Amino acid sequence: MKTRITELLGCEYPIIQGGMAWVAEHTLASAVSNAGGIGLIAGGSAPIDYLREQIRLCKEKTNKPFGVNIMLMSPNADDLAQLCIDEGVKVITTGAGNPGKYMAAWKEAGIKVMPVVPSVALARRMEKSGADAVIAEGTESGGHIGENTTMCLVPQVVDAVEIPVIAAGGIADGRGMAAAFMLGAEGVQIGTRFLASEECQIHPTFKELVINAKDTDNIVTGRYTGHPCRNIKTKFAKKLATGEKEGTLSPEEFEQLTVGALRRAVVDGDVESGSFLCGAISGMVNDIKPCADIVKEINDGAEKLLKL
């Protein structure tokens, strides 16, 4: 399917892999790019040397376009933003904030910039500041989320801006992609489905939690900290949610318990104290496959439905 997104990014399929912090490293990103989508390396809160190395390793594994996600709450976001320019990164997505202050430098460097937006207002602001596309991300997504759902947010963003819109949140198969296109999206960003890919480097326990999850095994924690996060409903996530609801955990205590929790999930598979960030669609992800199969099945499934 050719859209303004495939044209803008020079990829075969309008499927972008989510820039999942601690998860999206060069093996996954290069596999998605080699499959014809756009792989992303997550800057997260990574040290600058780690991200530089990941970008260089990705270039060794693919000559297709790939990108970097800059998490704007990261204390070293300024350095990571400059590193992308220095390393000749072609595509940047941003999350968890407004990337306005980097826009001029990124555009000057010829980078295609696609901020994640949780609202129409931010989508409009991003278009004005020169974004090439926006990623309208619904609350079904894993990790740090906004309030609006994909079904409600995407068409409103499509109506509000001229630039192409990529839909994210709750999409894991051809039906979801086709639905997003019916709402006016010209591409999809997919995270959770790629957690259960062969190339994804997360701990096997994390993959098992994803493929065994059913529709209700999902929970949002941390609303009272201002940074709500969607996770797999482990005992630890339930403990956080109960503490939040019953007022037995202060926001400060919550923050203390969750510092480093994503790393403990991704690297150690630690179900006692790790946060397994994951989208609400995990109930539909039941097997581990190569990225190439995932990308092709989603694209072909959507294409077939959209031609009906």
Q: Do 188 and 166 touch, CB atoms closer than 8 A?
A: yes
Element housing 115 (H / E): strand 112-117
| Least distance in angstroms from the C-beta of 108 to ligand TUI | 22
Q: Out of 122, 195, 266, 298, which residue is the one contacting ligand TUI (CB under 6 A)?
A: 122
Task: From 37, 67, 69, select the one nearest 197 (Cα to Cα).
Answer: 37
Distance CA 36, CA 64 (A): 8
| Least distance in angstroms from the C-beta of 174 to ligand TUI | 23
- Contact range with ligand TUI by CB under 6 A, out of 26-34, 47-55, 116-124, 284-292: 116-124
Does the protein bind ligand TUI through residue 227 (CB under 6 A)? Answer: yes
Residue 165's φ and ψ, nearest 5 degrees, are -115, 135
Distance CA 58, CA 67 (A): 10
- Contact range with ligand TUI by CB under 6 A, out of 89-97, 104-112, 172-180, 248-256: 89-97
Q: Do 301 and 178 touch, CB atoms closer than 8 A?
A: yes
Q: Out of 40, 51, 89, 116, which residue is the one contacting ligand TUI (CB under 6 A)?
A: 116
- Contact range with ligand TUI by CB under 6 A, out of 6-14, 30-38, 96-104, 286-294: 96-104
End-to-end CA distance of the chain: 14
Q: Out of 229, 232, 281, 291, which residue is the one contacting ligand TUI (CB under 6 A)?
A: 229
Q: Do 187 and 299 touch, CB atoms closer than 8 A?
A: no
Q: Out of 137, 140, 173, 244, which residue is the one contacting ligand TUI (CB under 6 A)?
A: 137
| Least distance in angstroms from the C-beta of 60 to ligand TUI | 27
Quote the tokens at residue 190: 């997919």
Residues binding ligand TUI (CB under 6 A): 21, 71, 73, 95-98, 116, 118, 122, 137, 143-146, 227, 229, 277
